[in-house]
Amino acid sequence: MPELPEVEVTRLGISPHLVGKTLQGAIVREPRLRLAVNPDLDARIAGQPLRQIRRRGKYLLLDIDSGSIMIHLGMSGHLRVLPRETPVVKHDHVDLLFSQDICLRFHDPRRFGVLCWLEAADAHPLISRLGPEPLGPEFSGDYLYVHSRQRQIPVKAFLMDAHQVVGVGNIYANEALFDAGIDPRRPAGRISLERYRRLAEAVRRVLEAAIQQGGTTLRDFTQPDGRNGYFRLSLAVYGREGQACIRCGKILQGIRIGGRATTYCSHCQH
């Protein structure tokens, strides 16, 4: 599933082509996504300029005067800015039509994505309950320390809880914990303030590096221009179970935490 860096790369890729242009409607070929596409989407958006495209966690919000179009890429979705006459292929479910004969095309083979209209996006339960952005000013080691007290869950599960901090998915939680030298199994409430400050810095560093490198291509993700992301070439632990640690040379261990694959170095992380 595309994580925060992949979604941010998508936002950065499509924004210059669309912001400021006028929406002229929508073509919905398949409304049965994870949430049903609004049957009156075309009428709701036609004639309104796109003011901005922002990201909240893994959701994209296309803001117009009367509300927002919320998009989630799901397991396999991607967005492309294309000339309207570009031939449609299988799984091209929705086109958002813009002035100058261009469209934003939503392609999603598995249909786990979301594209729906919201009058007040920030009040929607999928958005309003999210924790702070890991690249924003509210996120810090002090924040993590305060919210982790008395928590016995593994720190990796705590870091991936979107109610605590949004958008730190499995790949980047593995990488940030390795960067900070913290064992992913360690109870969240037993980590010191100093180590949480180190972890917060690691989270930012890892996410920013992934964004700069176009995300991590795993299975279905590509950038909006069709190119692959290259952060996968920099992965220190994720997907490297049984290989040598890049720091100490010991064999990386693999376990499952919260049902998710977790790889760590028992020597470097404690």
- Let me know if residue 212 belongs to a domain: yes
pLDDT band at residue 223 using 50, 70 and 90 as cut-offs: very low
> Which segment of 70-79, 145-154, 218-227 scores lowest on mean pLDDT?
218-227
Residue where a domain stops, chosen among 73, 107, 128: 128
Tally of CA atoms within 13 A in the half-sphere of 119 that contains its CB: 2
Q: How many domains does the chain have?
A: 2
Q: Which CATH number do you get for residue 42? A: 3.20.190.10
Any domain includes 81: yes
Domain range enclosing 122: 4-128
Residue 61 to residue 67: CA distance in whole angstroms: 9
156 plus 72 within the same structural domain? no
Which residue among 3, 6, 8, 175 is the active-site one? 3
105 with 160, same domain: the answer is no
* Same domain as 153, residue 114: no
State the CATH number of the domain containing residue 185.
1.10.8.50
Can you say which residues are annotated as belonging to the binding site for DNA?
91, 110, 151
pLDDT at 133 over 70: yes
pLDDT tens digits, 41-94: 999 999 999 999 999 999 999 999 999 999 999 988 999 999 999 999 999 999
Does 118 lie in the same domain as 33?
A: yes
Query: Residue 217 — pLDDT band, cuts 50, 70, 90?
Result: very low
Same domain for 123 and 148?
no
Given 55, 58, 156, 240, the catalytic residue: 58
Same structural domain, 93 and 31: yes
**pLDDT at position 216:** 55
Determine phi and psi for 147, rounding to 5 degrees: -80, -10
Catalytic residue among 21, 111, 186, 260: 260
Question: Quick one: pLDDT at residue 219?
Answer: 40
Whole-prediction pTM: 0.87
**Residue 2 annotated as catalytic:** yes
Q: Report if residue 135 sits inside a domain.
A: no
From residue 116, give the alpha-carbon distance in Å to each of 8, 45, 89: 19, 11, 21
260 is annotated as an active-site residue: yes
Q: 167 versus 30: which is more confidently predicted?
A: 30
How confident is the model at residue 104, as a pLDDT? Answer: 97
